[in-house]
Structure 1
């Protein structure tokens, strides 16, 4: 999950607004002229392959010293990059949840130096409702910083925007396992092309991590890679951070109990998820069936990808009982029918598979956005299949701080995996 890109003071409102208004023609970095590449058009008789690169633009080139300053400014303490980095904004071909062709965007961040064959770290970002908050659009984003941290250590940092964010068309299908996975696999395919254009190669072993919603996406991607989603890709290690892996068993019930999680944050997540999930599962016909007035009119508009999170939070009441109808709150506690299908569409990423690669789960004690029961239940599911997935306790940190604190440790662990 994880909103609050703006509320952490990392994103400038003016810069983010400018990014969205320039989606059709993203601005070039001031530090270096961009290099743009377009993939050749596919023959009209054959659809373009998933993962085919539509455009590849180098938007930043940072020296080793500049990379170190960037990481320090973003709070990634204790990291000392070995290389400068080149940041590429990539648009690539993928599919919707219904299998229709579409495009998505993401970052490929490469070390300026290092080995010919690069190992990839795929990083999944946390919840964002404003499409301009992605690392592809916002240079002050911690998500771009995380990808740069991995690249500065000699990996290829790969960071998908998922569908409907950054330069992707339409609205984001929030917390939808199928499209988080397909967009992530196709992003890795696109990264392979970008790396090859620099006369280098991408190792088939992929290290996977992500924060909050990105932790959820990381578990789903790990399962897909092990399941053979692409024969040229294999899971090397998996390290999700503060992820909502168990919607039905942990995240939703703890969100409604009134004590475990921050009620305003709960409203943000519920508003986003209910409006997004309804587009594919249709468990209400009119927003008034789930949202009390006046929120039945305002919430669907707020979560359109064009409103910044500060605006959204101003439009939310203080707790779920003020936003949800009594029937909707009860239905959330005991989902059935189409709502149950929606929950299952975003649920159970730890269940039904046995990781062969090493797994670590990261949590923080003061997390009031994502209940730590998610990690506990995930560990139980994996342990039942004979997999030891230790929980790394990040200490007395809140949700946002956990993502920053975890990534340098994740990097050190990935470097130790052979």
Structure 2
């Protein structure tokens, strides 16, 4: 722990109003509590293992409950550091960034939502889709939360409920692996429920970005983000002009571009984005790029099975998808399910509805997951 700053104190009615405005489920039968939220700044490590700090949102139920069950929610792609959970504080204008955490807290859980490295008030640039640093940022926020709650005379149940959306879905499966592997003896995995994850970048997601299956601006934006972020960590190219027809595209990923400004700066197509060398790199990853993709794609295949020490018990897993998701093909989840089955883990795919698109799956998925977490005899 470095600092803890209280952000908002909301009544149950105010929480439901924020969720309704953001088009999230605001069912009063489930969301009964007010919420007190905090921005935690805490120590962690960067992708190279060096000390740094990160920030994250902690949302607590406004109740007298002394022992809390923790839900870890890892968010989807953001380009602006101000749009991360702990800095997206203008709930009246846009509650999207905090809506999942508010949902879980109003349902009685302690909800933690890491901003990730380089977003929120953390230093540096964001290493997008770098699962190892997403995991360490998430894990260290859980530790900081435990310390913060102790100052309030509260404790946490060691069985962490893990969920996340889009980028945060593979972060969630990576965090689940760390918990199952005993990264901290005081914490373990209670359940895993990721939503709309790109669990197979190499074989499913990247081809969909490049062949137009993922329409503009998402296909172009995600492709550019992947190359820029992975180059910062793995040195894929020397200058932006090698891979981008307009080298200024790289400046869109400085953490200061809002969504509207980011989209306005994107080329009109993949062909307009990539040079011949950039297209070859993206279509046929080799060397460091291929190795980095393999790490990102391993979160489902490395989750320890029900007989694996140090947690040799079954853990419930569900994979949630939107039936009309044009950004993250369903095959991602199908490949994850197959990998999990190889470890003896049954992970049904839950379809959130035929008309549910990618962003809609965050809304519908949050509602479905909180109900599952609350089910008597379920993962609780």
Question: TM-score when scaled to structure 1?
Answer: 0.84
Equivalent residues of 2:6, 2:39 under 8 A apart: yes
Displacement of 1:263: 3.5
Structure 1 residue aligned with 2:333, among 358, 375, 379? 375
Unpaired runs of 5+ residues, structure 2, are 306-313
Equivalent residues of 1:94, 1:186 under 8 A apart: yes
Partner of 1:359: 317
Partner of 2:370: 411
Q: Separation in 1 of the partners of 2:97 and 2:147?
A: 22
Structure 2 residue aligned with 1:64, among 6, 9, 12? 12
Equivalent residues of 1:368, 1:399 under 8 A apart: yes
Matched, 1:99 2:58: no
Partner of 1:228: 182
Structure 2 residue aligned with 1:333, among 264, 283, 287? 283
Q: Separation in 1 of the partners of 2:303 and 2:176?
A: 10
Q: Separation in 2 of the partners of 1:317 and 1:164?
A: 25
Deviations 1:1-44 (A, max 9, x none): xxxxxxxxxxxxxxxxxxxxxxxxxxxxxxxxxxxxxxxxxxxx
Partner of 2:308: none
Displacement of 1:176: 0.3
Matched, 1:118 2:77: no
Q: Separation in 2 of the partners of 1:110 and 1:204?
A: 16
Partner of 1:344: 294
Q: Separation in 1 of the partners of 2:270 and 2:98?
A: 32
For structure 1, which segment, 53-62 or 376-385, has the greater mean C-alpha deviation from structure 2 after superposition?
A: 376-385
CA RMSD of aligned residues (A): 1.3
Partner of 1:275: 228
Displacement of 1:177: 1.0
Displacement of 1:163: 0.2
For structure 1, which segment, 141-150 or 281-290, has the greater mean C-alpha deviation from structure 2 after superposition?
A: 141-150
Partner of 2:249: 299
Displacement of 1:391: 0.6
Equivalent residues of 1:85, 1:111 under 8 A apart: yes
Partner of 2:158: 204
Displacement of 1:79: 2.6
Deviations 1:161-185 (A, max 9, x none): 0100000000001000110000000
Q: Separation in 1 of the partners of 2:105 and 2:217?
A: 36
Displacement of 1:318: 1.9
For structure 1, which segment, 347-356 or 380-389, has the greater mean C-alpha deviation from structure 2 after superposition?
A: 347-356
SS in 2 for 1:87: strand
Q: Separation in 2 of the partners of 1:78 and 1:304?
A: 35
Displacement of 1:69: 1.7
Matched, 1:138 2:88: yes
SS in 2 for 1:263: coil
Structure 1 residue aligned with 2:360, among 401, 407, 412? 401
Unpaired runs of 5+ residues, structure 1, are 1-52
Q: Separation in 2 of the partners of 1:376 and 1:326?
A: 32
Displacement of 1:78: 4.8
Displacement of 1:344: 2.2
Partner of 1:129: 79
Would you say how many aligned residue pairs link Structure 1 and Structure 2? 362
Q: Separation in 2 of the partners of 1:244 and 1:137?
A: 25
Matched, 1:161 2:111: no
Displacement of 1:364: 1.1
Partner of 1:33: none
Q: 1:150 to 1:114 in 2, by over 3 A?
A: farther
Displacement of 1:261: 1.3
Displacement of 1:194: 1.7
Displacement of 1:68: 2.0
Q: Separation in 2 of the partners of 1:73 and 1:311?
A: 23
Deviations 1:275-309 (A, max 9, x none): 111111001011122111xx21x111111001112
Displacement of 1:328: 2.1
Q: Separation in 2 of the partners of 1:134 and 1:194?
A: 21
Displacement of 1:74: 1.9
Question: TM-score when scaled to structure 2?
Answer: 0.92
Equivalent residues of 1:71, 1:79 under 8 A apart: no
Equivalent residues of 1:96, 1:102 under 8 A apart: yes
Q: 1:264 to 1:70 in 2, by over 3 A?
A: closer
SS in 2 for 1:113: coil
Q: Separation in 2 of the partners of 1:196 and 1:386?
A: 37
Structure 1 residue aligned with 2:206, among 228, 240, 252? 252
